[in-house]
Structures are given as structure tokens and as C-alpha cells.
A and B are shown apart, each in its own frame.
Chain A
């Protein structure tokens, strides 16, 4: 079974631009979560989607948004990029709440550099 895939793997943008990152979960997984990893703040939860609905959101500004499609694939968007948005963005999938699964499986991440 294929793992979590994320595209693109690397991205360079300039301040003020916007960016869209994509995540394809493991087949059969319906929950997708996003995390931001930076040297200063570590791993921080962005949001979680299940059945196309955002179930939980971390403490990030409204410039960070996401969505989930009917096939469970998810995208996250960051508008008006700032230098501090440079980070590794990790996507994780799981079967979903009330599905008896406690494990999130992570993708390789998208490394975003904002210049």
C-alpha cells in the first residue's frame, strides 16, 4: 500500500505570493492533518480534515487555510507569504475518528522557502 504523498517536495516563493500544497493520504484513510515544522517552533498542528470538514484548527492566522476533497485528498493554502512561513509542511493521514485508529502516518513533507 502506498504511503502518504505530498507535492511538491520543494518550493521557493517570494514574500506576498501565495502557495498551495497537496497531500494524498493512504488509500482508505479519511482523515488528513497538517503540521508545520520549523527550527524555532518545532512541530505545530495546523488543521485536521475528515469527510471534507475541518474538525480542528491550530493557532495560525487566517492566511493559512485548507480543504479536503471527496477522495480524501487535501490541499493547504498560504496567502500573502511571509518570511516566517518558511518551513517543512507535513501531512499525516489516519483512518479517522471513531474508526479505531490511533496512528497518523506522515508524508515526506513539502519544504517551503520564502524569500
Chain B
């Protein structure tokens, strides 16, 4: 069975500082990996995804993530935080082929300090 662990349920960074949100996955084979963002009272919006190929993935709003098989990690980063980045972020994993089920981490709430 696949699972995702997000370290840190709450992360606070100053505006302009580096954002680092951690995600580790457990899977017998490299899976598909996703980062979604959720703003208050809204659904989930895809930030970026890793399927195959290049391990450094660039997404929307200046976010990127690097797939590291040796560390089973898929951490999300952004060089300079903006106030509009305040939201909850979810890492998710999905098996190659087969069904469409996503398994989500518990989420990380990002707060930006002015």
C-alpha cells in the first residue's frame, strides 16, 4: 500500500523567505506524485506533478519540487514567499496504471509573516 507523510502540520515563513514543505512517500515502485494547494473554502488546485522523466518539476506560482528516489522524498520549494502563498498544501501519491485513487498526506498549513 502506498502512503505519504508530510512533516510539519504548520509552517511559518517570512515574506520573501524560502518556502520548504516536506513530503516523503512509501511505495514499492516509483509512483506518480502530486502537490495540491487548497485556499480557504475552495477545492484543491494542482501545483505540480511528477510522473516520469526529469526529477526536478516546475509548477505554477513559482513552486517546484524534486523527486529523490534514494530518499523517497518529493519536497516542495519556492525561493521567495509571497503573502498570497498562505494556504494548505497537500502531497499525494498515486500508483502507476490502474485506478485513479489518490492517497493524500495530512497537509501542511503555510503561514506567511509580513
Contacts and interface: CB of A to CB of B under 8 A. Distances in A.
Specify whether A and B are partners: yes
Interface of A: 4, 31, 33, 35, 42-43, 45, 48, 50, 55-56, 58, 90, 92, 94, 96-98, 102-109, 111
B101 A102 contact: no
Interface stretch (B19-27, B64-72, B79-87, B102-110): B102-110
A55 B99 contact: yes
B90 A43 contact: yes
B85 to A, nearest CB: 19
A1 to B, nearest CB: 15
Contacts of B41: 111
Contacts of B61: none
Contacts of A108: 42-43
A103 B45 contact: no
Contacts of A111: 41
Interface residues of B, number: 25
A8 to B, nearest CB: 14
Q: What are the 6 closest A-B residue pairs judged by CB atoms, nearest first?
A: A43-B104, A106-B43, A106-B44, A56-B99, A108-B43, A102-B32
Q: What secondary structure prevails in chain A residues at the interface with B?
A: strand
A102 B51 CA distance: 8
A106 B49 contact: no
Given A102-B49, A103-B46, A103-B49, A97 B32 contact: no
Interface string B3-42: 0000000000000000000000000000010101000011
Contact of A45 (B32, B102, B107): B102
B98 interface: yes
